[in-house]
Amino acid sequence: MPELPEVETTLRGIKPHIHHQTIKSTIIRHPRLRWPVPINLAHHLEGQRLNNIHRRGKYLLFHFDTGTMILHLGMSGRLRILLKEVPPQKHDHVDIIFSHNICLRFTDPRRFGAILFTTDDPEQHPLLKHIGPEPLSDSFNGNHLWEMAVGKKTAVKNYIMDSHIVAGVGNIYATEALFTAGVRPGKAAGKVSNHQYQQLATAIKAILRHAIQKGGTTLKDFAQSDGKPGYFSIELQAYGRAGEPCPRCHKPFKSTQIGQRTTVYCSSCQT
């Protein structure tokens, strides 16, 4: 499922093919995503030149003179570049075709993804307005986590997955970062020490950077025509390893539910 590194890799994969290109047509086969795809999306896009694309958290923002298309991959969404015509498959919901006949295809089996359009400042859009700092920026650090956590009783894992605290940390990398930093995921956010938050911020940055770097090797996959997704996996130390021995202390990993999400941790190494 796309986490921030996959979204960043998607951005890098598609951008060279469509940057500064003009949209010829738009095909919406299935408008029922997380929210309905705007009926007038084609009206906003057709004839428009793509000025730029950038990422905010797990959102991709496509900038045009007429406004901004906001796209989220949800948990099963994919974007591909098609260099030639490829018959659409079952879950290929939206095609955006550029004037040089390159197609940007949005595929999403579970339809938790979203495609929206705003004519206003996208940073002021309700979905983006209150989002926290980018995890790889300098404004995200241990002090930020520490300061925002004062008095919070929610589990630290929920806390770092809250997009208002920091943008784009999902279940997989939250689990991994908590393991790396030695922080128990169920601990109340307000009870985590400043020292642990420094470790945690460092771990979040490191794992995201590592995953993005790994993703760089798969960029070519975004322009494949055979439908192979351009995603990748890094070696995960804790996520999905319930019952397996902790690589540090060899005690079996425990599994629990926090905020209705599967959480794996080492009861000995994470305190």
Which residues are known catalytic residues? 2-3, 58, 261
Is 262 a residue that touches DNA (CB under 7 A)? yes
User: Min. distance of Cβ 49 from DNA in angstroms?
Assistant: 28
3-state SS class at 171: helix
3-state SS class at 260: coil
Q: Which residues of 4-37 are buried (b: 16+ CB within 10 A; e: fewer)?
A: bbbbbbbbbbbbebbeeeebbebebeeeebbeeb
Q: What six digits make up the tokens of 240?
A: 């999905």
Sign of CA dihedral 220, 222, 227, 230: positive
Binders of DNA among residues 179 to 218 (CB under 7 A) are 190
Binders of DNA among residues 126 to 185 (CB under 7 A) are 126-127, 151-155, 158, 163, 168, 170-172
Q: Which is nearer to DNA, 102 or 113 (CB)?
A: 113
Q: Which is nearer to DNA, 17 or 111 (CB)?
A: 111
Q: What six digits make up the tokens of 45?
A: 């896009």
In DSSP terms, 69 is beta-bridged to 62, 117
Determine which residue in the list 21, 22, 48, 76 makes contact with DNA, applying CB under 7 A.
76
Q: Kindly list the distances between the CA atom of residue 94 and the CA atoms of 29, 57, 62, 86, 119, in Å, as whole numbers in the listed order.
A: 6, 22, 15, 13, 20
Is 261 a residue that touches DNA (CB under 7 A)? yes
**Within 162-251, where are the H helices?**
171-181, 194-215
Is 61 a residue that touches DNA (CB under 7 A)? no
Print the binding letters for residues 20-59 with DNA: x by CB under 7 A, - otherwise: ------------x-x----------------------xx-
User: Min. distance of Cβ 110 from DNA in angstroms?
Assistant: 4
Binding interface with DNA (CB under 7 A): 1, 3, 32, 34, 57-58, 72, 74-76, 90-91, 109-112, 126-127, 151-155, 158, 163, 168, 170-172, 190, 240, 259-262
